[in-house]
């Protein structure tokens, strides 16, 4: 179908554009398929609740946490404490906005994958039953938690490098963007693979053999995170896009 475009078996110069096209194809598919629309709106509503709860938690508790770690100084240097509070709050907000919806909505990923595969006419996955579905939900949360930890550790190392070698700031910033984009591709290609019994090793092979395809896909997804309102729909659109990418890779013989 047109939603799962043909991909060449091997990498090529147009791979970044091909990868970047999948989130847009996902948005078009969601708009056409009622079940995907309902699931997407549900995920967006839950994401909004997570954003509001996280903002309330930071507003309520972060000043007290900072006060215990560093009592508010008196006099003219008090502005430095306030600046630290603002910067810490901004960083904590970004970290939570990027990771908390992933963890909270991970159990819904399999349902999104199933609905997408049904919409594009993919062969149904083997039935897993209630116990299998529960195992998949737990596994999805665990795998997402591990990948989020790797993302945070990688970004933390790049921040340390930026502090140690300020002259390399553009290089470290670019490396951070690439790391985030590759994480996004791995994060959203994994659900359709794991649904059919695939391992994360297959995701790593895709990243190694088709890095520009993965980078194009990941950059397009990452852009959504920074667009207000659209970022509420990030997870469902990215899961649908990852499923379309998976089907195209299967058709190209790049995946089993």
In sequence order, what DSSP letters do the residues of the chain get, joined into one string?
Answer: -TTS----SS--TTHHHHHHHHHHHHHHHHHH-HHHHHHHHHHHHHHHHHHHHHHHHHHHHHHHHHHHHSPPPPGGGHHHHHHHHHHHHHHHHHHHHHHHHHHHHGGGHHHHHHHHHHHTTPPPPPP-HHHHHHHHHHHHHHHHHHHHHHHHHHHHHHHHHHHH-GGGHHHHHHHHHHHHHHHHHHHHHHHHHHHTT--HHHHHHHHHHSHHHHHHHHHHHHHHHTSTTGGGGHHHHHHHHHHHHHHHHHHTTS--
Residue 128: burial class (beta carbons within 10 Å; 0-12, 13-18, 19+): middle
**pLDDT computed for residue 46 by the predictor:** 95
Whole-Å CA distances, 43 to 3, 141, 152, 166, 239? 22, 15, 23, 39, 11
What is the torsional sign of CA 188, 192, 193, 195?
A: positive
* CB contact at 8 A, 111 and 84: no
For the chain, 256 residues long, give each residue's pLDDT as a single digit of tens: 556 777 887 778 888 999 999 999 999 999 999 999 999 999 999 999 999 999 999 999 989 988 888 888 887 777 888 888 887 787 788 778 878 888 888 888 889 999 999 999 888 776 665 556 566 666 666 777 777 787 778 777 877 776 677 677 678 778 878 888 888 898 899 888 888 777 778 888 888 888 899 999 999 998 887 788 888 999 999 999 999 999 998 888 776 5
* CB contact at 8 A, 40 and 27: no
Tokens of 11: 């990498």
**pLDDT computed for residue 55 by the predictor:** 92
Total-model pTM: 0.81
Q: Which residues contact 144 (CB under 8 A, 6 or more apart)?
A: 102, 103, 106, 187
């Amino acid at each position: 179908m047109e939603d799962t475009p043909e991909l060449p078996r091997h990498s090529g110069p147009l791979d970044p554009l091909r990868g970047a096209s999948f989130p847009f194809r996902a948005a078009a598919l969601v708009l056409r398929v009622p079940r995907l629309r309902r699931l997407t709106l549900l995920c967006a509503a839950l994401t909004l609740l997570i954003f509001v709860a996280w903002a309330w938690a930071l507003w309520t508790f972060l000043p007290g946490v900072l006060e215990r770690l560093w009592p508010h100084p008196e006099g003219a240097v008090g502005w430095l404490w306030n600046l630290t509070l603002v910067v810490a709050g901004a960083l904590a907000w970004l970290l939570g906005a990027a990771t908390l919806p992933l963890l909270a909505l991970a159990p819904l990923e399999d349902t999104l994958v199933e609905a997408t595969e049904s919409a594009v006419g993919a062969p149904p996955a083997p039935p897993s039953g209630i116990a299998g579905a529960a195992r998949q939900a737990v596994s999805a949360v665990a795998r997402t938690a591990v990948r989020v930890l790797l993302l945070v550790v990688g970004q933390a190392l790049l921040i340390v490098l930026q502090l140690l070698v300020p002259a390399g700031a553009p290089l470290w910033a670019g490396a951070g963007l690439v790391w985030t984009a590759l994480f996004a591709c791995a994060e959203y290609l994994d659900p359709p693979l794991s649904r059919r019994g695939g391992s994360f090793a297959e995701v790593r092979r895709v990243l190694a053999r088709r890095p520009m395809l993965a980078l194009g896909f990941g950059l397009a997804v990452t852009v959504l995170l920074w667009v207000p309102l659209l970022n509420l729909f990030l997870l469902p659109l990215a899961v649908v896009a990852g499923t379309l990418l998976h089907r195209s890779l299967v058709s190209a013989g790049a995946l089993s």
